[in-house]
């Protein structure tokens, strides 16, 4: 069981100003991947750590939701939340509305107790947690009993595995409460099981410590709790460290930070290996590299990715989240963690008056453009913004406008061999264009190369042709030169250039509202036929007209308006509905369904009628067209 999506709104650093930003803080892990995160100081990576930790804690221990300090109720349609989607298609939420955990959806209908189990595993480890093992406050030794066995200790919610008394098979913290009632049998079960538990913890910690430094070894000493004179005396826990076989009486004062950190990491990870298996096991390591030098960081990656740590155990069943503030180390770690997802957190102080995180999502030109805007690298921002516009416009434009004469098919494996002296090649982000040369080696035409300028022109033709009121088209034309050639600006860091880029983001935001949906897809292998019924006024017969769709039939939507885009089609035949007899009627290709249906309607009118001023509603005609399965296009919308 793994997390496949995390969605956060107005929790701690994750400020969302309005519903347009609703998906700003969404991390997709579609296959339940592990995640490596680089984050600047103050970029929100620790807020992500706290978000997941609070989410799982609130299932068993309700607590206040930590809203963003600058959140204003009413700016978003939903109250602040932390959403988790699991790969069993269940959807869980920690909402500020009542500070409660909610099971939003559970498609499988299965048991979701794994959420509670994930909290018991205590898999959230930060650098501050590591300090608890060796940091002395007021010259006092660390309180290891509270760390491991206290009310919120690492093992406190773990069920005692092998008590002599069956009624003592309860969580360690509950059994200790029984011990407080001077129950000697309970205390015996407690001491026996804790001794065995810390023996296992010691063995596994030394196994992991061997990945870092073979010269160090650890001994965990547990002294039983006892009842004397009707008083329960607490147990004690202490760590004894050897270096090159020699005892170190005060190891926390004698070892350097790298060795202390390696010991602490080994103990915390060994704790995870001692926890019974769980369906959902989260291991979140937040900035624990701080105390490690480079030579001790690589061993940690080997521990996390090993198939066998030495005793058959591993972290393969855990979903791991690993954060670092060290950019150089992040780049090194990426090469070791090839199948992990990687993302980057930055401080965004441009898109809002309040500093907040910016999550750099790979593969999104718009997100990369935002990132470079926040970093003040305006030429790079303009470059990715141009790519974002080109990508979006290509998604919107239909095939017959985008590349007349070219096919989008990925299945076309035909080829042709032409001498280089007769052919030149251009390319954009999506395709290559091969163009013949004149004898003087100049290109005859580059009309097929649809860069941003031509894409904008084609988009303008599209919206005007279909009567769509896209009010930003003039603004887009005004800034296109900056996007086409950002280096032409005389001052690359001037407020004017930044303002133009911000205008570009505003236009792109509006452009993203333009949606296209394929209603009927035309595959390369098999023809697609559509039908239209019409009675012939001259013969009195009812006919079914058959025609072939040659291009995908696409619906365009914007601001509540819908337009069926032109798709080329070809008349094939008509059938007499009374006996289904066929009359071949193959004709010329028509540029749209409405033109073809209009032609059929005019042809079916009485010959003596004046057809010059006849008006048909294109939408009404198209809605009556149906597929071979009998579905009308109206029902497919």
| pLDDT tens readout for residues 73-90 | 999 999 999 999 999 999
What is the predicted pLDDT for the residue at 447? 40
In the predicted structure, residue 149 carries a pLDDT above the cut 50: yes
| pLDDT tens readout for residues 490-527 | 555 566 688 888 999 999 999 999 998 888 988 877 89
Split at pLDDT 50, 70, 90, the class of 620 is confident
Q: Return the structure tokens found at 342.
A: 């990687």
What is the predicted pLDDT for the residue at 44? 95
| pLDDT tens readout for residues 1-20 | 999 999 999 999 999 999 99
Query: Which candidate, 104, 111, 107, places its Cα nearest to that of 81?
Result: 104
Split at pLDDT 50, 70, 90, the class of 407 is very low
What is the predicted pLDDT for the residue at 286? 96
Helix (H) or strand (E) holding 544: strand 542-549
Split at pLDDT 50, 70, 90, the class of 436 is low
Which residues is 283 bridged to in the sheet? Answer: 320
Pairing mode, strands 319-324 and 282-286:
parallel
In the predicted structure, residue 471 carries a pLDDT above the cut 50: yes
Q: Can you tell me the mean pLDDT for 432-449?
A: 49
In the predicted structure, residue 403 carries a pLDDT above the cut 80: no
Q: Do you know the residue count of the chain?
A: 637
What is the predicted pLDDT for the residue at 415? 43
What is the predicted pLDDT for the residue at 558? 93
Distance CA(600)–CA(593), nearest Å, equals 11
Q: For residues 24, 26, 28 and 34, what is the CA-based torsion angle, rounded to 10 degrees?
A: 120
Angle at 513 between CA 631 and CA 407, to 5 degrees: 60
Distance CA(10)–CA(487), nearest Å, equals 38
Provide Rg for the chain, Cα atoms: 34
Average pLDDT, whole number, for the chain?
87
CB 545 within 8 A of CB 593: no
* Least confident segment among 82-86, 126-130, 235-239, 633-637: 633-637
Contacts of range 454-458, beta carbons closer than 8 Å, 24 or more positions apart: 455/389, 455/390, 455/393, 455/394, 455/397, 456/389, 456/393, 456/480, 458/393, 458/397, 458/401, 458/402
Q: Can you tell me the mean pLDDT for 586-604?
A: 90
Contacts of 48 (CB under 8 A, 6+ apart): 6, 8, 27, 37, 321, 323, 345
| pLDDT tens readout for residues 170-209 | 999 999 999 999 999 999 999 999 999 999 999 999 999 9
Tell me the CA distances in angstroms from 637 to 157, 266, 546, 552, one per residue in order: 53, 58, 21, 14
**For the chain, counts of helices (H) and of strands (E):** 19, 26
Split at pLDDT 50, 70, 90, the class of 291 is confident
Helix%, strand%, coil% for the chain, nearest 5: 35, 25, 40
Q: Return the structure tokens found at 271.
A: 């704790």
| pLDDT tens readout for residues 95-135 | 999 888 999 998 888 888 899 888 888 899 999 999 999 88
SS (H, E, C) 441-472: CCECCCCCCCCHHHHHHHHHHHHHHCCCCCCC
Please give the CATH architecture assigned to the domain spanning 137-275: 3-Layer(aba) Sandwich (3.40)
* Least confident segment among 48-52, 523-527, 586-590, 591-595: 523-527
Split at pLDDT 50, 70, 90, the class of 444 is very low
Distance CA(500)–CA(508), nearest Å, equals 12
Contacts of 555 (CB under 8 A, 6+ apart): 516, 517, 519, 562, 563, 564, 565, 637
Domain boundaries of the chain, sorted by first residue: 3-121+336-362, 137-275, 383-406+418-513, 518-636
Q: For residues 492, 497, 498 and 501, what is the CA-based torsion angle, rounded to 10 degrees?
A: -120
Q: Which residues of 300-335 are buried (b: 16+ CB within 10 A; e: fewer)?
A: bbebbbeeebeeebbbeebbbbbbbbeeeebebbee
Distance CA(372)–CA(381), nearest Å, equals 5
CB 283 within 8 A of CB 34: no
In the predicted structure, residue 572 carries a pLDDT above the cut 70: yes
Distance CA(161)–CA(163), nearest Å, equals 6
| pLDDT tens readout for residues 453-464 | 889 999 999 999
Distance CA(174)–CA(168), nearest Å, equals 9
Helix (H) or strand (E) holding 206: helix 184-212
User: Which residue is associated with the tokens 């249906």?
Assistant: 597
CB 181 within 8 A of CB 227: no
Q: Can you tell me the mean pLDDT for 349-367?
A: 79
Q: For residues 162, 168, 173 and 179, what is the CA-based torsion angle, rounded to 10 degrees?
A: -120
In the predicted structure, residue 423 carries a pLDDT above the cut 70: no
| pLDDT tens readout for residues 253-283 | 888 888 999 999 999 999 999 999 999 999 9
CB 34 within 8 A of CB 341: yes
Q: Return the structure tokens found at 603.
A: 């042809």
Q: What is the largest CA-CA distance in the chain?
A: 119
| Alpha helix stretches (DSSP H) within 359-485 | 365-374, 378-396, 399-402, 452-465, 473-484
In the predicted structure, residue 324 carries a pLDDT above the cut 70: yes
């Amino acid at each position: 069981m793994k997390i496949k999506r995390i969605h956060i709104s107005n929790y701690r650093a994750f400020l969302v100003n309005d519903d347009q930003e609703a998906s700003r803080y969404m991390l997709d892990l579609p296959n339940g991947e592990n995640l490596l995160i680089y984050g600047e100081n103050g970029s929100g990576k620790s807020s992500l750590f706290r978000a997941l930790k609070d989410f799982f804690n609130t299932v068993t221990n309700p607590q206040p939701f930590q809203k963003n300090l600058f959140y204003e109720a009413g700016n978003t349609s939903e109250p602040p939340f932390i959403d988790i989607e699991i790969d069993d298609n269940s959807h869980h939420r920690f909402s500020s509305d009542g500070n409660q955990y909610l099971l939003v959806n559970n498609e499988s209908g299965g048991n979701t107790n794994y959420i509670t189990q994930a909290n018991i595993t205590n898999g959230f480890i930060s650098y501050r947690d590591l300090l608890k093992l060796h940091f002395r406050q007021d010259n006092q030794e660390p309180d290891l009993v509270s760390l491991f066995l206290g009310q919120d200790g690492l093992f406190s919610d773990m069920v005692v595995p092998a008590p002599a008394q069956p009624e003592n098979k309860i969580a360690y913290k509950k059994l200790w409460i029984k011990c407080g009632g001077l129950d000697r049998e309970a205390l015996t079960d407690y001491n026996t099981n804790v001794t065995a538990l810390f023996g296992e913890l010691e063995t596994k910690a030394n196994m992991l410590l061997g990945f870092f430094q073979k010269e160090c070894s650890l001994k965990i000493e547990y002294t039983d709790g006892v009842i004397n004179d009707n008083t329960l005396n607490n147990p004690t826990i202490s760590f004894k460290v050897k270096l090159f076989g020699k005892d170190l009486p005060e190891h926390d004062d004698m070892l350097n930070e790298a060795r202390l950190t390696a010991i602490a990491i080994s103990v915390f990870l060994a704790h995870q290996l001692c926890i019974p298996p769980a369906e959902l096991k989260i291991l979140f390591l937040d900035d624990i590299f701080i105390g490690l030098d480079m030579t001790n960081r690589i061993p940690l990656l080997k521990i996390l990715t090993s198939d066998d740590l030495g005793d058959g155990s591993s972290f393969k069943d855990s979903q791991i989240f690993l954060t670092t503030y060290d950019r150089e180390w992040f780049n090194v770690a990426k090469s070791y963690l090839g199948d992990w997802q990687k993302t980057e957190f930055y401080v965004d102080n441009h898109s809002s008056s309040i500093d907040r995180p910016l999550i750099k999502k790979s593969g999104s030109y718009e997100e990369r453009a935002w990132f470079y805007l926040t970093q003040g690298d305006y030429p790079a921002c303009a470059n990715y913004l141009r790519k974002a516009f080109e990508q979006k416009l290509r998604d919107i434009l239909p095939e017959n406008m985008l590349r007349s004469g070219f096919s989008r098919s990925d299945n076309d494996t035909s080829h042709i061999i032409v001498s280089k002296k007769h052919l030149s090649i251009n390319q954009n982000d999506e395709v290559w264009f091969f163009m013949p040369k004149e004898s003087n080696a100049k290109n005859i035409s580059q009309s097929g190369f649809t860069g941003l300028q031509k894409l904008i022109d084609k988009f303008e033709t599209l919206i005007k042709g279909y009567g769509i009121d896209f009010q930003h088209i003039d603004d887009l034309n005004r800034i296109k030169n900056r996007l086409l050639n950002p280096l032409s600006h005389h001052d690359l860091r001037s407020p004017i250039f930044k303002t133009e880029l911000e205008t570009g983001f505003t236009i792109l935001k509006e452009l993203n509202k333009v949606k296209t949906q394929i209603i009927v897809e035309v595959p390369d292998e098999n023809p697609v036929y559509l039908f239209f019924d019409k009675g012939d006024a001259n013969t009195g017969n009812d006919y079914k007209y058959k025609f072939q769709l040659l291009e995908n039939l696409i619906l365009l939507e914007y601001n509540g308006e819908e337009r069926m885009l032109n798709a080329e089609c070809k008349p094939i035949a008509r059938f007499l509905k009374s006996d289904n007899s066929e009359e071949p009627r193959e004709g010329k290709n028509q540029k749209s369904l409405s033109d073809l249906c209009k032609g059929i309607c005019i042809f079916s009118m009485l010959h003596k009628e004046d057809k010059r001023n006849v008006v048909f509603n294109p939408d009404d005609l198209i809605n009556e067209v149906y597929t071979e399965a009998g579905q009308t296009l109206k029902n497919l919308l």
